[in-house]
A and B are shown apart, each in its own frame.
Chain A
Amino acid sequence: MKKMLPESELARDERFVRTKIEDRIFDPRGPKIAQRNTGPARMGVDRPAAGERSRSLMHGIFVGEIQALEGAGRTCYDFDDAEAPFQLKLDMARQCWDESRHCEISVKLGDHMGTEIGEYTESTFLFAAACNPDPVFRLCGVNRALEGLAIDVFKSMKDFGNESGDPILEFCEDWMLADEVTHVKMGSDWLRRLTETDPERRERALEFQRTVDAIFNLGGFRGEDDDNPVQLARDFRRLAGFTEEENDSLAELARRSTEEARQMAEMATAALDASAQNT
């Protein structure tokens, strides 16, 4: 078996439908939806279609867990001992077990919420981040950026479970949230150890992490305002080893992304109105 499996060769059964993340974010139907003034986008039981939104997010978590499992597994295989020390591979193997368990939890939660596997599309961006040929970049992109996002998502879903009176959802999200803190710490620890004598490599890896973070801020998906469906979970991020400076930087990035999304929606709405008047 070759090393470095490309994203295009990720194996799936026939239920899964793959889309690109940018197609979803820049879907031209977005402005039409934005025209409806339905209040804050923050996950809440009083929001329109709260059940549908939570099911969609849960399916997104599920496919993300599969890719996290696959990414950790590839990191076990793709590197020799000089590139990835034995102890790093042990941590990745442990992550395989954790992510496999998260897949199992997600499938059960999907059943609980009435969702079929493959009912929503899958974007394979997480696995793409795990395809980087440098193991340090993989750890920054996956373990720090995307597992950090998972902390935010699971905290939001846990709160939603509590608010909606669903103890099963709340229980499961909390257990997965605990594991994600461990995964982020793995990423932080190995970033420090592997780049102790190479600050340039560390900075490039952190830049890759910021790029990944920025993509998941697109469209205002994550932030600290009511306009953001997923809320930044500062306390749990702190526990995972993110500094307050990193959290502040991420929050600022999220605010800019939310504003950009609002401006794009306004421009698209104006264009739609102009087009309707001309016809």
Chain B
Amino acid sequence: MKLAPMTDHTKPRPAFAPWDRRELPGLFSVEDSARRVGNYKWAEMRLFEVLGGWVATIPELDVKMVLGRHTYHHAWHAELWHKRLPELREMNPDRLTQPPNDEFVTFMNAIREPEAPELTIEKLVGVYRVLIPRFIAVYTYHLNGTSTITDAPTIRSLKFALQDEFDDWRDGEMLLQSLIDTPEKVERASRRQEALEKLYLASGGIAGPGSLGDDSAATGWERSVESTHA
């Protein structure tokens, strides 16, 4: 028995469903994204190395175990960025795995500096009240600004990384709130945060100046359009 067709399968449908509002333009060119991704990788590497190194120096058992887990999260982010770089035309990932400037190196060295067993608060403040909130900010800026069509692989990695960053931020902040139980410890945490914030400010951010945007500069899309019409 031959069945009559129920639908007209040759009827054209729009390539993008009405609910798919993604657009082409984005803030970043291929080179812009690659440069930022290289900065992200460098910072995530320095972070996972110090989290791993701190475990043996921290006497609090619950903090040890949390840092062990977080070490892997940031190492995995570094691996995501390592794999993304060749896809952004950087065949030698090490070349772009760089800090944005010397000031950011100074900042990361300050983050990694505390060693003594009585400095758990200083260690955690640096990571969970200064650095990881900055990762959240710069990743969110990149996620919101890049082309949702052409840079979709970066967006996917940013979303995975951001989920870890939010979870780790919460873990670290809760540990800090449980450790800071005297006014003197509040002052220690504040002093540490203030000193690191100033160093971070001097660097311009994880991706250097423009980490969270620069209104005066043309975006990657704008540069691309201008060069096409030139």
Q: Which of B57, B82, B94, B117 has the most CB of A within 10 A?
A: B57
Asked whether A5 is an interface residue with its Cβ less than 8 Å from the other chain, the reply is yes
Residues of A within 8 A of B54 (CB): 1, 73
Residue contact A1 to B71, C-beta cutoff 8 Å: no
Asked whether A239 is an interface residue with its Cβ less than 8 Å from the other chain, the reply is no
Asked whether A103 is an interface residue with its Cβ less than 8 Å from the other chain, the reply is yes
Residue contact A93 to B57, C-beta cutoff 8 Å: no
Residues of B within 8 A of A89 (CB): 45, 48-49, 75
Chain B residues 85 to 110 lying within 8 A of chain A, measured CB to CB, are 94
Q: How far is the CA of A9 from the CA of B64 in the complex (A)?
A: 15
Residues of A within 8 A of B58 (CB): 11
Residues of B within 8 A of A70 (CB): 55-56, 64
Residue contact B68 to A5, C-beta cutoff 8 Å: no
Give the contact stretch, choosing among A74-82, A183-191, A246-254: A74-82
Q: Which of A12, A13, A77 has the most CB of B within 10 A?
A: A77
Residue contact A74 to B53, C-beta cutoff 8 Å: yes
Asked whether B35 is an interface residue with its Cβ less than 8 Å from the other chain, the reply is no
Chain A residues bordering chain B, tally (CB within 8 A): 35
A69-B64 in contact given A76-B71, A86-B82, A94-B75 (Cβ < 8 Å)? yes
Residues of B within 8 A of A86 (CB): 45, 78, 82
A91 CB to nearest B CB, Å = 9
Asked whether B115 is an interface residue with its Cβ less than 8 Å from the other chain, the reply is yes
Residue contact B57 to A97, C-beta cutoff 8 Å: no
Q: How far is the CA of A74 from the CA of B68 in the complex (A)?
A: 11
Asked whether A137 is an interface residue with its Cβ less than 8 Å from the other chain, the reply is no
Residues of B within 8 A of A12 (CB): 59
Q: How far is the CA of A278 from the CA of B78 in the complex (A)?
A: 71
The total of interchain contacts (Cβ-Cβ below 8 angstroms) comes to 109
Residue contact A1 to B68, C-beta cutoff 8 Å: no
Q: How far is the CA of A75 from the CA of B53 in the complex (A)?
A: 8
Residue contact B68 to A100, C-beta cutoff 8 Å: yes
Asked whether A142 is an interface residue with its Cβ less than 8 Å from the other chain, the reply is no
B84 CB to nearest A CB, Å = 14
Residues of B within 8 A of A2 (CB): 115
Q: Chain A 2-22 against B: per-residue CB contact (8 Å), 1 yes, 0 no?
A: 100100011111000000000
Asked whether B65 is an interface residue with its Cβ less than 8 Å from the other chain, the reply is yes
* CB contact between A78 and one of B51, B53, B67, B113 (< 8 Å): that residue: B53
Residues of A within 8 A of B71 (CB): 73, 76, 93, 96-97
Residues of A within 8 A of B45 (CB): 86, 89
Chain B residues 34 to 84 lying within 8 A of chain A, measured CB to CB, are 45, 48-61, 64-69, 71-72, 74-76, 78-79, 82
Asked whether B112 is an interface residue with its Cβ less than 8 Å from the other chain, the reply is yes
Residues of A within 8 A of B64 (CB): 66, 69-70, 100, 103
* CB contact between A73 and one of B61, B68, B78, B114 (< 8 Å): that residue: B68
B191 CB to nearest A CB, Å = 19
Q: Chain B 127-147 against A: per-residue CB contact (8 Å), 1 yes, 0 no?
A: 000000000000000000000
Residues of B within 8 A of A69 (CB): 55, 64-65, 68
Residues of B within 8 A of A101 (CB): 69
Residue contact A103 to B72, C-beta cutoff 8 Å: no
Residue contact B60 to A13, C-beta cutoff 8 Å: yes
Q: How far is the CA of A99 from the CA of B64 in the complex (A)?
A: 11
A interface residues (Cβ-Cβ under 8 A, vs B): 1-2, 5, 9-13, 66, 69-78, 81, 86, 89-90, 92-94, 96-97, 99-101, 103-104, 117, 127
B interface residues (Cβ-Cβ under 8 A, vs A): 45, 48-61, 64-69, 71-72, 74-76, 78-79, 82, 94, 112-115, 117
Provide a sorted-by-A list of 18 A–B residue pairs whose CB atoms are within 8 angstroms: A1-B50, A1-B115, A2-B115, A5-B53, A9-B57, A9-B117, A11-B117, A12-B59, A13-B59, A70-B55, A73-B56, A73-B71, A77-B50, A86-B82, A89-B75, A90-B75, A94-B75, A127-B56
Identify the 5 closest CB pairs spanning chains A and B, nearest first: A77-B53, A100-B68, A93-B75, A76-B52, A73-B52
